[in-house]
Amino acid sequence: MIDTHCHIDFEEYGKDRDEVISRAKDKLDAVIVSGIGYESNKGVMNLCDEYKNFIYPSFGYHPVSSQNCSEEELKLSHTHLIENINNIVAIGEVGMDYFYVKDKALREKQKEIFLSFIEIANEYKVPLLMHVRDCEKKALNIVLEYDDIPYVIFHCFSGSSKTARRIMEKDNYFMSFSTMLCYSKQHQDLIKNISLDHILTETDSPYLAMTKEERNEPVNVVNAVKKISEIQNEDMETVDRITTNNARKIFKI
Ligand SMILES: [Zn+2]
């Protein structure tokens, strides 16, 4: 079992990160931590160095924070990313967020930044891990223009069933589902018709716990796998085997 997207580098884990990671090690095969900006990417790499062969890094630039970024910081992120291109398992999270960002000019800026990272994923042939909210169809149409991105992942996919069907037309496109499945009727309905061959599992820790006050953690990805097996009427072992293999293939871990 693999948590393909979380943020255990965040300060929420400052006091007990070791314990969180050891609980994850008891149940999971690997954890992928996604950076959200230049400083964050550096921290993610340090954490991964400390827990080699269990925690793997993905370098990104979060679409919501990126709307206020300077040219200089963006350039630094690009350079740092390219310097580390062989040491990361994916580029992300990067993307577009129309839920938090309503302003047209800011959305345009998000898109430009997103494109700059897509270009790198395409040129260096690195998997692209996307944060896309309320603009899934738009994002899909954008990435479909690029032929050399080896794998495309919609993290915490919340798009329509129609977009999901289009995503499944591509063998190398995936949708990741989180612990949100345990309480979100929308996601429970959505995953009914999504083939396991296109599914990854994640927690997005510290977010998306069962209650708003709670802090999520990677080991809870078990609950997402369990929920998928219930909804799809498959045994948990099968869901685990297929989704873990998907992640191993994509991220080469
Ligand atoms: Zn995230």
Which pair of tokens denotes residue 234? 């498959």
Give the end-to-end CA distance of the chain in Å, rounded to a whole number.
Answer: 12
> Ligand 1 mean position to 103 CA, how many Å?
22
Distance from residue 61's CA to the centre of ligand 1 (Å): 10
CA 131 to centroid of ligand 1, rounded, Å: 7
**CA 93 – ligand 1 centroid, Å:** 7
- Per-residue pLDDT tens for 64-98? 987 778 889 999 999 999 999 999 999 999 999 99
Q: Which CATH superfamily is domain 2-251 in?
A: Metal-dependent hydrolases (3.20.20.140)
Q: What pTM, to 2 d.p., does this model score? A: 0.96
Ligand 1 centroid to residue 145 C-alpha, Å: 24
Q: Which pLDDT tens digit goes with each residue over 178-234?
A: 999 999 999 999 999 999 999 999 999 999 988 778 999 999 999 999 999 999 999
CA of 94 to the centre of ligand 1 (A): 9
For residue 201 the two structure tokens come to 């599992």
Of 226, 158, 232, nearest in space to 1 by CA? 226
CA 156 to ligand 1 centroid distance, Å:
8
- pLDDT for 176: 98
pLDDT in tens, 9-35: 999 999 999 999 999 999 999 999 999
Instruction: Determine the distance separating the centroid of ligand 1 and the alpha carbon of 168, expressed in angstroms.
Output: 22
Tell me 29's DSSP state: S
Sketch the domain layout of the chain as residue ranges.
2-251
Share of the chain above pLDDT 90, in %: 95
| CA of residue 35 to ligand 1 center, whole Å | 8
Query: Cα–Cα distance between 223 and 6 in angstroms, integer?
Result: 15
Please tell me the distance between residue 204's alpha carbon and the centre of ligand 1 in angstroms.
5
Q: Do residues 63 and 101 touch, judged by C-beta distance below 8 A?
A: yes
Q: Please give the distance, rounded to the nearest whole angstrom, from the Cα atom of residue 34 to the centre of ligand 1.
A: 7
- H-state helical runs in 96-235: 104-124, 136-143, 161-168, 185-191, 221-232
Please count the other Cβ atoms lying within 10 Å of the Cβ belonging to residue 53: 8
Ligand 1 mean position, distance from CA 120 (Å): 20
Ligand 1 mean position to 32 CA, how many Å?
A: 11
